[in-house]
Amino acid sequence: MTDIAALLAPLVALRHDIHAHPELGFAEHRTARVIADALRAAGLEVHEGIGGTGVVGVLRAGNGPRKIGLRADMDALPIDEKTGLPYASRHEGCFHGCGHDGHMAMLLGAAQALAASLAADPSGIDGTVHFIFQPAEEGQGGARAMIEDGLFERFPCDRVYALHNWPALPAGTIATRAGAIMGAADKFHITLRGRGGHAAVPHDTNDTLLAAASLVQQLNTIIARNTPASANAVLSVTQIHGGHAHNVIPGEAMVAGTVRTFDPVVQDRIEQRMRQIIAGIEAGFEVSAQLDYDRYYPATINDADAAEDALIVAATVGTAQRAPEPAATSEDFSFMLQARPGAYIWLGQGVGENPPPLHNPHYDFNDAVLETGLRLHLALARHWLAPQE
């Protein structure tokens, strides 16, 4: 058996190195080189430049036809880090604030461990593992870019899994669920245009700020009054911009935000209602409005059998639990799950009563769960590729 304990210290060091050198989506050039070099050193077949900066390591054993994909994301966030750690980001405005550095380390460790195990005993699995290192998860659709670049044609997968750290769960707890586990992510940007003018004579203007204020109030009624009480949905206005002087009514204002849903019917209803409200604002305030509505990530929907298998396997590694409800956050692994059956899995990493959440400038991946994640990846591969009688 592979000495996993011997892998952990080098993996922690690699994780810290990647954390100190974060790169944004589709610019993960150094990160991709580090990962590709480590995969080659472990004896894997390596393919680079997939979907931009994506990397796939291939490990084959036996003649079995089964194939599994295991995915980790690579990109950082445009955030200034405030952890004060010795390995803190060296790049201003760029920070691994979502734990992708830890995801890469866990998946790389699984590749190293499985390759070493197969070198000692080639009969351990019968089939192919594709270790998928994906760029640009944070809102840029790197998963879709890899798929459009032929990911699953070049590296077929009967099942595909992704593992993401989850600070809200106790460290080491593994959770997933059948069906929706993450929300669809839409973003909207509404530009209101009117006739600006002097604030002392508002009757000579078409007040875009007044229109924007009414619009924000009405948008916030959609979830409460236009979607079923049983539907999980979120609409948040996150930006309002307009004006530059205390005595000028601006001729243009902007309102923007996000919508999160789990049901396409609810998603359609929210967009439809938004358009109706905007039309009413145009008529009521004599302004024009332009809506840009972008459904950029679909809901992350787990295959029921794949999720159930993941829970069974997780119980052999640590504490497994069925997630009671999905999260309203989004994930572009959703595109991979539209293309292939599989499941998205949460790995608890929370320490203490109030750990920093994901995307917080004080967040850091918990190195104590690297071993659990590594072992889960290994167990999933061995479960799906177990030699058949």
Distance CA 83, CA 96 (A): 11
What is the reported pTM? 0.93
Tokens of 8: 């952990």
Query: Residue 123: its pLDDT value, please?
Result: 86
The full length of the chain comes to 389
Active-site position among 23, 138, 186, 332: 138
For 82-204, list the strands marked E by DSSP.
Answer: 127-134, 159-170, 174-176, 179-182, 184-193, 197-198
Q: Which CATH class is domain 4-181+299-384?
A: alpha beta
Cα angle, residue 179 at apex, residues 177 and 183 outer, rounded to 5°: 95
Domain residue limits, the chain? 4-181+299-384, 184-297
Helices (H) and strands (E) in the chain, counts: 11, 16
Span 187-236, pLDDT tens digits: 999 999 999 999 999 999 999 999 999 999 999 999 999 999 989 999 99
The answer to whether the CB of 161 falls within 8 A of the CB of 167 is no
Which CATH code is given to the segment(s) 184-297?
A: 3.30.70.360
Query: Residue 351: its pLDDT value, please?
Result: 78
Active-site position among 23, 73, 207, 371: 73
73 classed as catalytic: yes
For the chain, residues with pLDDT lower than 70 are 1-2, 389
138 classed as catalytic: yes
Query: Residue 2: its pLDDT value, please?
Result: 67
Distance CA 299, CA 302 (A): 10
